[in-house]
Structure 1
Amino acid sequence: MIKASLMYPYAEGARFDFEYYTDKHLPFVKASLGPALKGLTAEKGLVGGTPDTPPPFIVCGHLYFESVEAMQEAYAPHAAAIRADIRNFTDLEPVMMISDVLIG
């Protein structure tokens, strides 16, 4: 299983519309990627590693696929539209990481 993580770094004063992200963006991504997408989760950062510190990321979104090739094939036709929609909910640039899920 392959996981694509899109993590939005915490920045004081950054704009992030959680309602748009969960109610519009993620369903749009899910519909765009179709059956190649095996699962999707999103996490809202609450606090950093020590009390009273901000989280390193405001939100982390995780998309699961059978393989990197399946992910790339599903994403390529919709890449521009998915990327363009990011501006509708944040002014942050996501950090992306593709990983091999070892336990899950």
Structure 2
Amino acid sequence: MIKVSAYYPYTDGVRFDFDYYTTSHIPLCQTRLGCSRVEVAKGISDANPNDPPCYVATADLYFDTVDAVHEGFKAHGRELFADMPNYTDCKPQFIITEVLD
């Protein structure tokens, strides 16, 4: 199982529209990329509950193979990245990992 994780860094005043993200962008990702599962999380705090989270949001997209990841993003990456201004003004960080369960 391959996981693509998107981390959206928290900064003061960051804009992130969770409603748009969960009802429009994530379904678009699922349709275009063909991922088998998606998990979205909202940052609450850092390890110290008085500090803001490192990330305002994270998303994990699951695929059967790394080739499926690369093929999906090659075919639809521009469209998905062009949608980002509709829900955020921050630049996400990405990592592709293999789940070792």
Quick check: TM above 0.5? yes
* Aligned pair partner of 2:44 in 40, 43, 46: 46
Unpaired runs of 5+ residues, structure 1, are none
Counterpart residue number, 1:65:
63
| Runs of 4+ residues over 3 Å off in structure 1 | none
Taking structure 1 as the reference length, what is the TM-score of the superposition? 0.93
Counterpart residue number, 2:22:
22
Structure 2 matches for 1:1-104, cutoff 5 A? 1-34=1-34, 37-103=35-101
Structure 1 distance, partners of 2:5, 2:78, is 18
Q: Which AA in structure 2 matches 1:8?
A: Y
Superimposed CA distance per residue, residues 35-71 of structure 1 (whole angstroms, 9 cap, x where no aligned partner) = xx11111000111101211111000000011121111
1:75 deviates by: 2.0
Structure 1 distance, partners of 2:85, 2:78, is 12
Q: How many residues align?
A: 101
1:74 deviates by: 1.9
Taking structure 2 as the reference length, what is the TM-score of the superposition? 0.96
Q: Which AA in structure 2 matches 1:79?
A: G
Unpaired runs of 5+ residues, structure 2, are none
Structure 2 distance, partners of 1:32, 1:8, is 21
Q: Which AA in structure 2 matches 1:89?
A: Y
**1:54 match: secondary structure:** coil
Q: Which AA in structure 1 matches 2:67?
A: E
